[in-house]
Amino acid sequence: MGRCLLERPLLVPLASLIAGMVAADLLDWIPKGWAVAALLTTTLAACFVKPRFPFLLSLSSLFLVLGSLSLRPYLRPADDLPVTSPY
């Protein structure tokens, strides 16, 4: 018998999260912060579509971006520091 893709429901988000962390570390790919809001909206809209593929694609894209953004404070700490004047 063939195995259902959603037999292990946490495998797709976990793999995407790890892929996002690897992409941030090795490829220095860190998306903008607004990408999370856009992908969250897309994932919510894909919940109401009958086929599973749009939901799985948007969910994996969301976790890919979240994994990449989770390493931003460690890879680029100067981006999070406030700009202060020496005077």
Q: How far is CA 82 from CA 55, 60, 69, 72, 78, in A?
A: 38, 32, 19, 15, 8
List the Cα angle 47/48/49 in 5-degree steps. Answer: 95
The reported pLDDT for the residue numbered 79 is 73
pLDDT in tens, 24-81: 999 988 898 899 999 999 999 999 999 988 999 999 999 999 999 999 888 888 776 7
Q: How far is CA 42 from CA 29, 39, 49, in A?
A: 21, 5, 11
pTM (predicted TM-score): 0.82
What is the domain partition of the chain in residue ranges? 32-72
Give yes or no for a contact between 60 and 14, defined as CB atoms under 8 angstroms apart: no
